[in-house]
Amino acid sequence: MASTLNRPDRPSRADLAAAADKVLPDVIAPGLDVLLCGINPGLWSAATGHHFARPGNRFWPALHLGGFTPRQLRPDEQHLLPGYGLGITNLAARATARADELTREELTTGGEILRDKVERFAPKWLAVLGVTAFRTAFGAARVQVGPQAPHFAGARLWILPNPSGLNAHFTLDKLTTEFARLHDVVTSG
């Protein structure tokens, strides 16, 4: 993805405005241990070309502290994830400033696309980062953070909290605990 950024980690206001509605490619491969599914890319991520790139997003620290990576990766190192058995996709492809800008239809359609991806790439686990978005996309009003039944398109399903800094209810410690719970189950077989 070509960028006009002066500094790849600090997009300008013009870069962020130009990122609206852009699509961020998945980091995905067949047979992953865990396919992590965000809600949708933020403008910072779309401008930089890297998932969970906005400063203050707790995804990368929680992923490391939860045991999935031996060190905290930077967003521009997302290409290393498949080597750890991990990948990233999103429920909705369109970049927005806030996830609440998405329509119910976008999330529902994104859920259908996600189901197809999971069937095609066959990860062992699908971890959706955002309980409210999952509820909307799949009409699953009672789903909570944690393991879910039944399987999703052949993968075991786990719901994680949204790591956005806007989700202040879940501190980094609480996020890390949830990521670690998933990691423990994934590594125990």
**What residues are labeled active site?**
40, 51
Q: 118, 155 in Cβ contact below 8 A?
A: yes
Structure tokens of 93?
Answer: 């492809």
Residue with tokens 């359609």: 109
Residue 134 burial (10 A CB sphere; 0-12, 13-18, 19+): buried
Strand 155-160: give its sheet, edge to edge.
86-90, 34-38, 125-129, 155-160, 146-152
What one-letter code names the amino acid at 147? P
* CA distance linking residue 44 with residue 129, whole number of Å: 18
178 CB neighbour count, 10 Å cutoff: 21
Q: Which DSSP symbol is given to 169?
A: T
What one-letter code names the amino acid at 108? T
